[in-house]
Structure 1
């Protein structure tokens, strides 16, 4: 069952990568890639369906195998997404680009594996939910504001990080809803960070540095969820030198990817 879970999670990562590449291809080059405009593009909608399928397969895999096996498989979406996106833009990914992505994936897998599992139901008070949304919102706005004063690669990274922070808040709230009991007020709050994260991610994709934006999203989302879990839910954090080494490896890979990821334009291949 563990092997089956790993295979299903890997296939889910492929679907997620395909969906992200399709959505980036439709958003790239747009000055203001609004959701209403993107919703009228069939390829963007297919990308969304592919992402949902990937998420569903990931949930199935979690039901069949341990978290320590399934979660690292999700990082493979970074390595899948770069060749898919490059093909859509009519090019081949460079060796340096793939190597940098591999470094990011290795560091992120290390961080995922080192996070201790929580033992017990999670609870969050209404004040905790407001704190969660407030902190995530302020962080997202600051990252968005900072993106206006940096290079295109830095802009893609900051916008995607902003999206990842909001997705991390969404994941934390979803965890509370599933594990701690459904609450209609929390359920109404859930779409707020999720929709804002989706809008911010499309802006990141529009910049054109897909490798940078997708890697930044993959890093910011789980790290934000872990941080909120520790601060608001009392979940344990990893300790020792290994998490620091994994974080440094992830950071080095991201910087290298920012230097090697090309600025892509929306150019339909024949």
Structure 2
């Protein structure tokens, strides 16, 4: 069952990578990368369906195997996404680009495996929900403001990190709903960070530099969820020197991706 779970999670990562690459292909270079404009594009919607399928396969894998096996398979989406995106843009990914992505994936995989597994139900009160959304919103806004003065690669990274912070907040709120006490007000609050994250991510994709955007998202999302889990849910954090080394790997790999991933040009209308 563990082998089956790993295989399902790996296929889910492929679907997630395919969906992200297709959505970026539709959003890149767009003067109006807003959700309303993108929702009218069938291929962008198809990318969203692929991402949803990847998420469902990941959930199915978690039902069959341990988290320590399934989560690393999810990191593989970064290694799948770069070649798919390069093919869509009519090029081959360079060795330097793939090597940088491998460094990011290795560091992120180590971080995922080093996070202690939480035990027992969680509790997030009303004050905690307000704090969660407020802190995530403020951090996302600061990252967005910083992106306005950044170079293209930096702008893509900051916007995608902003999206990752909001997705991490969404994941924390979802976990409180599933594993904690049910509250309809929390359910109403759930779409707020999720929709803001989706809109911010499309702006990151529109810049170009898909590798930088996708890597920044892959890093910011789980790290934010871990941070909120520790601050608001009392969950344990990894300790020792290994998490520091893993974080340094992800940082080095992301900087290398910013230097090696090309800026995709605006496509002519079909």
Question: Per the alignment, in what secondary structure is the counterpart of residue 76 of structure 2?
Answer: helix
DSSP 3-state at the match of 1:240: coil
Q: Which residue of 2 aligns with 1:64?
A: 64
Kept in 2: contact 1:25–1:266 (CA 8 A):
no
Is the aligned partner of 1:198 residue 2:189? no
TM-score, normalised on structure 1?
A: 0.99
Using the TM superposition, give the Cα deviation of residue 266 of structure 1 relative to its aligned residue in structure 2, in angstroms: 3.8
Cα-to-partner distance string for 1:101-128 (whole Å, 9 max, x where unaligned) = 0000000000000000011101000000
Question: What's the secondary structure of 1:90's corresponding residue?
Answer: coil
The CA RMSD measured in Å over matched residues stands at 1.1
Matching residue of 2:136: 136
Asked if the contact 1:13–1:75 (Cα under 8 Å) also holds between the matched residues in 2, the reply is: yes
* Larger deviation, residues 30-39 vs 193-202: 30-39
Q: CA deviation at 1:30?
A: 1.2
In 1: Cα distance, 2:268 partner to 2:80 partner: 20
CA distance in structure 2 between the partners assigned to 1:120 and 1:138 by the alignment: 30
Q: CA deviation at 1:150?
A: 1.0
Q: Give the Cα–Cα distance (whole angstroms) in 2 for the partners of residues 8 and 266 of structure 1.
A: 35
Give unmatched runs, 5+ long, in structure 1: none
- Number of the residue aligned with 1:20: 20
| Residue number in structure 1 paired with 2:79 | 79
Matches within 5 A, 1:206-225: 206-225=206-225
In 1, the alpha carbon distance for the partners of 2:266 and 2:65 equals: 40
Following the alignment from structure 1 to structure 2, what is the Cα–Cα distance between the partners of residues 169 and 106? Answer: 24
CA separation in 1, counterparts of 2:204 and 2:157?
A: 7
Deviations 1:48-76 (A, max 9, x none): 00000000000000000000000010000
Q: How does 1:214-253 map to 2 (within 5 A)?
A: 214-253=214-253
> Is the CA contact 2:164–2:217 (under 8 Å) kept in the aligned structure 1?
yes
- Contact kept, 8 Å, 2:29 with 2:267, in 1: the verdict is no
The number of aligned residues is 270
In the TM superposition, structure 1's runs of 4+ consecutive aligned residues that sit over 2 Å from their partners are: 266-270
Gap runs ≥5 in structure 2: none
Q: Does 1:114 align with 2:114?
A: yes
Question: Once the 2 structures are TM-superposed, how far is the Cα of residue 183 of structure 1 from its aligned partner?
Answer: 1.0
Distance 1:266 1:238 in 2: 42
